[in-house]
Amino acid sequence: MRLLYFLVLGLLPMAFTTGASAQDQLSGDAIRAKIVGNTITLVTRNLDLATGVVQADGTIRGHIGGDNFTGRWSIQNGNELCFDLPENTFDICRRVASDGKHLNLFTTTGQPSGRAEILQGNPYSL
C-alpha cells in the first residue's frame, strides 16, 4: 500500500504539452464533474501504472501494478483535489487544470506535479 503515496504526491514531474496551466485551474465543482464516476490513470514515480475509479461517495479504488487500494477523495479549500490514502500520515492535495481528457496537476504553490488521463466510466471494472 505504500505505493499509494505515489498515486498523487509522487507523480512524475513533466512538462505539459498543452495550454493548460496553473492559471486555468478548475473550480471544485468542475473538478467533481470531471472525475466522479470516471477512472483516472497515471504513471507513478516508480513507473508503475496507477488506475483508480472515483466514486460520488468520496471513495477511490483501484490498483497500482498488482496491489489493490481503497482510499478517500475530497475537494478542499474550494479548488484542491485531495486524497486520504491508507498508510499516509498527511493529506495530499493538488490543484487541477484540464485540457479535455487529461488532468494537469499542480502543487498548492502552482508548480506542475503531473498529468493524469481521465477514462469515461469504469472500463476496467475496478
Q: Provide the whole-model pTM.
A: 0.78
23: three-class secondary structure by DSSP? helix
Q: How far apart are CA 75 and CA 91, in angstroms?
A: 12
CATH entry, 2-119, from 3.30.499.10, 2.40.128.640, 3.40.50.150, 2.30.30.40:
2.40.128.640
Return the domain boundaries, the chain. 2-119
Neighbours of 90 (CB within 10 A): 8
Instruction: Please list the pLDDT of the chain residue by residue as tens digits (126 residues).
Output: 333 333 444 433 333 334 456 668 999 999 999 999 999 997 766 677 888 999 999 999 998 778 898 989 999 999 999 988 665 544 578 999 998 889 998 988 888 988 899 999 999 999
Residue type, 27: S
